[in-house]
Amino acid sequence: MPRRAREERNVPISDGLRRGLRLPVIGAPLFIISNPDLVIAQCKAGIIGAMPSLNAREPDRLEDWLERIVTELAAHDAAHPEAPAAPYAVNLIVHRSNPRLMDDLAICARFKVPLVITSLGANEEVNAAVKAWGGLVFHDVINQRFAHKAVEKGADGLILVAAGAGGHAGSQSPFALVAETRAWFDGPIALSGAIATGAGILAAQAMGADFAYIGSAFIATQEARASAAYKQGIVEGQAADIVYSDYFTGVSGNYLRSSILAQGLDPDALPTSDPSAMDFAAAAGPKAWKDIWGAGQGIGAIQAVVSAGDLVARFAREHEEARRRLCGD
């Protein structure tokens, strides 16, 4: 595939998404966990906040959520013109089993959502619709085959989900994944995989990514819609407490060992699942996300449940400290 020119594609995209950014971070959309409270807090703190459309159990509720997000961020911008909020994003599951895809897309169109993150399938019709209202599409991928397919079908940016990422995740090293992608793709790249510190954000930038894509750290925030036990599991967990399996949804992902044990399962002897059994129908949904807790290998850096704003502030301090350390300032 020919190399895409940064001058043609990445400059306007970067300009649009970097408005209000304090750090080059996208808060990953967390199934069930992300909600308007978390998205608004992330955007006000200066990172891109995101949520899955399916977290709103009905399309009408999604419309209410987006109305609230847009209204509160506009009020913030009016009150703080010197520090406007960062953009927000909505995650659409493009898998064929999601019956709400087109309804949710239509709602996103009405609000002109600035960034749409697509998962589990690259869809030209969805991409074209988002571009028609002036939005951008980032697609999450775990390898080069899926990355090429996403770009061929019109994705503006790629989210590289490397080894160690929470929830659905790949198995490739972030070094290899970013380097191989940058060899042919000059568009925006977000890197996901065990990033839970400001130094990790800087490392992602040094590798060639435009954004760090951080999810698990935000589970242990006051705004997140996670149980107290789930949040405490993140705080107490280490990389050794993460289990990689495709048993729960048909797609390989990382989960907290303690939550698997709590369901009476042996984390070291989980059977292999059938990918064709994935079902994102609103009435069912992947049951794993309610009882089995997704988490990435970077959770050892999370020491307490804090507000999303405080977490972003910590990232900013660590990012600057790491930059100074490397530059000798």
Strand partners, 254: 167, 244
Look at residue 272 in the predicted model and tell me its pLDDT.
85
Residue 261: how many other CB atoms lie within 10 Å: 12
Each domain of the chain, given as residue ranges in start order, spans 6-228+295-327
Look at residue 283 in the predicted model and tell me its pLDDT.
45
Look at residue 7 in the predicted model and tell me its pLDDT.
41
Token pair 């929830």 is found at 167
Supply 321's token pair: 């400290």
Taking the whole predicted model, whether its pTM rises above 0.85 is answered as yes
CATH class of 6-228+295-327: alpha beta
Look at residue 73 in the predicted model and tell me its pLDDT.
98
Residue 218: how many other CB atoms lie within 10 Å: 27
The set of residues, in sequence order, having a beta carbon less than 8 Å from that of 82 and lying 6+ positions away, is: none
Amino acid at 231: K
Burial 90-122 (b: 16+ CB within 10 A, else e): bbbbbbebbebbebbbebbeebebbbbbbbbbb
* CA atoms of 156 and 187, how far apart (whole Å): 7
Look at residue 10 in the predicted model and tell me its pLDDT.
46
DSSP 50-84: EEEGGGSSSHHHHHHHHHHHHHHHHHHHHH-TTSP
Look at residue 197 in the predicted model and tell me its pLDDT.
99
With beta carbons less than 8 A apart as the criterion, state whether 116 and 90 touch: yes
Per-residue pLDDT of the chain (329 residues; tens, 9 = 90+): 445 444 444 445 657 788 999 999 999 999 999 999 999 999 999 999 999 999 999 999 999 999 999 999 999 999 999 999 999 999 999 988 899 999 999 999 999 999 999 999 899 999 999 999 999 999 999 999 999 999 999 999 999 999 999 988 999 999 999 999 999 999 999 999 999 999 999 999 999 999 999 999 999 999 999 999 999 999 999 999 999 999 888 889 999 999 999 989 999 999 887 666 555 554 444 454 578 999 999 999 999 999 999 999 999 999 999 999 999 87
